[in-house]
């Protein structure tokens, strides 16, 4: 085990799922921390870089050793996994044990995603809306450009890809989705699914006058 991988901050583990990597029996680890503050986030306990509880990678590694031949894949979810510099090392260890590697990401760090491409077998990418509309959801001014650049990288690489869009409450008419679905189809996205919004109160990224938004976590150094 490399010293770097031990620093991976893990906030949760699902030992078995058939949903998080379509067509495969998988385990999911939930990486702690996210750079964005989406209004409808349903994993708010994973937003902070530190979190309430922390599962050491050594525990995950021991679990995986006991599941060789029983599970097909390990999915890295979050939070936002690509926030952490230890992610590539963890993926390499899991892949060396024979597991396929899945990634759930919102695509905030396309440069880091590019370096992960040789390790990935499947990606679930959150595309929230058209690029110009991202700041109203994430609270980050450049988030749309980053997410759509990540989409372009994955399409070019030809990695098995599922694009997911969470439908927020204010999209009450199917026509609200049409510009997004048309643009994705034009890019060649063939697997686009819609997710039901399950909002959880989080610090508002767009505070009213006189209020202060909670600071976003800084990204870890790239590996």
> Strands, DSSP E only, in 70-204?
73-77, 100-105, 122-126, 160-167, 192-196
Q: Report the C-alpha gap between 1 and 73 in whole angstroms.
A: 19
pLDDT of residue 195: 84
- For domain 10-196, the CATH architecture is Alpha-Beta Barrel (3.20)
pLDDT band at residue 47, thresholds of 50, 70 and 90? Answer: confident
- In the chain, where are the structural domains located? 10-196
Query: What contacts 138, CB < 8 A, 6 or more positions away?
Result: 36, 37, 38, 128, 205
pLDDT digits (tens, 9 = 90+) for 57-108: 999 999 999 999 999 999 999 999 999 999 999 999 999 999 999 999 999 9
Centre a 10 Å sphere on the Cβ of residue 150 and count the other Cβ atoms it contains: 25
Q: How far is CA 108 from CA 49, 58, 74, 179, in A?
A: 15, 27, 21, 22
| Nearby residues of 110 by Cβ (< 8 Å), 6 or more positions away | 146, 149, 150, 153
Per-residue tokens: 105: 């990401």
Is the separation of the CB atoms in 147 and 107 below 8 Å? yes
The mean predicted confidence, pLDDT, of the chain is 86
**Does residue 125 carry a pLDDT above 70?**
yes
- Under the banding of pLDDT at 50, 70 and 90, the label for residue 175 is confident
pTM for the model stands at 0.86
Contacts of 42 (CB under 8 A, 6+ apart): 198, 199, 200
């Amino acid at each position: 085990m490399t010293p770097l991988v031990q620093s991976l901050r893990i906030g949760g583990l699902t030992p078995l799922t058939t949903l998080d990597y379509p067509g495969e029996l998988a385990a999911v680890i939930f990486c702690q921390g996210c750079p964005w503050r989406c209004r409808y986030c349903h994993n708010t306990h994973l937003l902070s870089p530190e979190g309430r509880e922390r599962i050491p990678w050594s525990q995950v590694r021991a679990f995986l050793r006991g599941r060789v031949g029983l599970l097909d894949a390990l999915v890295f979810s979050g939070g936002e996994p690509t926030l952490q510099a230890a992610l590539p090392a963890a993926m390499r260890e899991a892949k060396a044990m024979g597991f396929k590697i899945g990634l759930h990401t919102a695509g905030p760090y396309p440069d880091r995603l590019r370096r992960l491409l040789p390790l990935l077998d499947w990606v679930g990418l959150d595309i929230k809306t058209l690029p110009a509309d991202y700041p109203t959801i994430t609270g980050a001014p450049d988030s749309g450009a980053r997410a759509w650049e990540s989409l372009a990288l994955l399409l070019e690489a030809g990695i098995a890809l599922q694009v997911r869009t969470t439908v927020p409450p204010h999209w009450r008419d199917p026509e609200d989705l049409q510009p997004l679905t048309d643009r994705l189809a034009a890019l060649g996205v063939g697997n686009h699914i819609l997710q039901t919004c399950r909002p959880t109160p989080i610090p508002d990224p767009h505070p009213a006058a006189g209020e202060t938004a909670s600071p976003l976590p800084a990204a870890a150094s790239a590996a």
